[in-house]
Amino acid sequence: MLINNVNKTAVYRQRTGRYLLLSAIALIFIFPMVFMVMSSLKPSLQLLRDTSSMRAFLPVGDLSLNNYSAAFRRVPIGRFLFNSTFVTGITVILGIMINSMAAYSFSILKWKGKGIILSIIIATFIIPFETIAIPLLLIVNKLPWIGFSGFSIGWMNSYHVQIIPFLAYSFQIFLFYQFFKEIPKDFIEAARIDGAGWFAIYSKMVIPISGPVIATAAILRFLDMWNQYLWPKMVIQSEEFRPVMVGLQYFFQLNIPWGEVMAYLSIITIPVLAFYLAMQSAFIESIASTGIKG
């Protein structure tokens, strides 16, 4: 009995220590967001004074929503939020369809040369986007206009120039490939014997059980697209199509209104948090089931 009590005490202490460590790590990641939100409620002078103490993380002093109203006057936030949501949403949805089908062909179908092509696709993931940005810009600038029945639109200053170049994504293909190749072959062969076609197997059998990896791919791609700055800055000059990150340039001036900047950042962070909270359970399940490690 005494030994059991000692073991329970040891397990309790170990578990408590683990939770304390994880809580401390969580606080390290939460502090910047707390600082951002608290700073968005303070005048710029008070914000700068408070940065030298713990007051920067506390709701103390002259708090108000003036920075938010000023940010809305300075920047067309509603338009920018719509642009980023539209571009990000379309890219995530179409990208998951395209990349999952590509991974399905690599992991399930049998055809010559797929190993070499898959290796080349995965290798492209290590190439920084900055190295191909200028060549991609030159290619896009030479593409023909899209039009029908007297209506035409170019590639520059448009939504599609922010979407189409980012639909195919090597890392997403790799994620889906890792998941699909773990599907039992007997499962696929049984469907083939029953007369199911390859697309029917993909759409009615493989995709329905791929919720966790779809959530992971969606979250990672959502973050990438929502944080796009360099490419929209290069191809978008019209305010009508600018995303939220390009909106930060509206605050670049001699006397930077830091309170307004923090308010703007707080506003554009809300969709990211909402999307992650909606997908977090499937995301955690994917990490546990696919063996993805940091």
Which run of H or of E encompasses 280? Answer: helix 258-290
Amino acid 289: pLDDT: 54
The first and second tokens of residue 257, run together, are 């209104």
The domains found in the chain, sorted by start residue, are 1-64 (no CATH), 74-290 (1.10.3720.10)
Dihedral, CA of residue 84, residue 85, residue 88 and residue 94, to nearest 10: -140
Amino acid 109: pLDDT: 82
pLDDT beneath 70: ranges in the chain: 1-8, 10-11, 145-153, 254, 282-294
Rounded CA separation 201/189 (Å): 10
Amino acid 20: pLDDT: 82
Amino acid 294: pLDDT: 39
Q: Are 47 and 55 in contact (CB under 8 A)?
A: no
How many CA within 13 A on the CB side of residue 264?
26
